[in-house]
Structure 1
Amino acid sequence: MAEFVGPRLYSCCNCRNHVALHDDVISKAFQGRNGRAFLFSHAMNITVGPKENRQLMTGLHTVADVSCCDCREVLGWKYERAYEETQKYKEGKFILEKSKIVKENW
């Protein structure tokens, strides 16, 4: 019988702190500051920074950078508010950059 390994996770690339579950991936087709990024419904073990307005590829959004709570590595951002109706689905969700996270238990 196969040994139970646990859920597939994503961890901080710097300190391996668990930051998200694979089951919470909504889309892998996003763009971050440094390349590809994933949209997650939830993130854990992170610190949410101050809110700021940013002009992104899909319009104006209010976002807050998210960092690993252990090593403070900036991993992406949280969408706090979307101003365009077609972008409202992003509110409360998290962008984590592919270059800043690593797979665990795969």
Structure 2
Amino acid sequence: MAELVVGPRLYSCYKCRNVVAHHDDIVSKAFQAKNGRAFLFSHATNIVTGPKEDRHLLTGLHTVADVFCSDCSEVLGWKYERAYEGSQKYKEGKIVLEKFKIVKENW
């Protein structure tokens, strides 16, 4: 009987299937984006970061940059560059990926 080899649980771009994140890097699943739920990741791969801009989000003012798939350039979410509220500092350097823009791989 062949042994089933299970790799890491991954998330890929829904458009081109480029791997963008590992399930183990999820910090929180309780994020809200314009178009529904989103996940906060400690880091992501195969993404390109756009220009920084200040945005008023649900939790206050943040400096963020949109993140794009490095293969197909689809916007997948954003990266927190700076949080102005002390209680939000934990988000700095982390990436939010919108749930409907990513698909599960190896589940």
Deviation at 1:84, TM superposition (A): 0.1
Deviation at 1:35, TM superposition (A): 0.6
- One-letter amino acid matched to 1:13: Y
Name the residue aligned to 2:50. 49
Question: TM-score by structure 1 length?
Answer: 0.97
Task: Give 5+ residue unaligned stretches, structure 1.
Answer: none
Measure the CA separation in 2 of the matches of 1:27 and 1:75: 16
Name the residue aligned to 1:64. 65
Name the residue aligned to 1:14. 15
Question: TM-score by structure 2 length?
Answer: 0.97
Measure the CA separation in 1 of the matches of 2:30 and 2:3: 32
Query: What is the SS of the residue equivalent to 1:88?
Result: helix
Name the residue aligned to 1:24. 25
Percent of pairs with identical residues? 75
Number of aligned positions between the proteins = 106
Measure the CA separation in 1 of the matches of 2:59 and 2:73: 27
Deviation beyond 6 Å, 4+ runs, structure 1: none
Deviation at 1:2, TM superposition (A): 3.6
Query: What is the SS of the residue equivalent to 1:42?
Result: coil
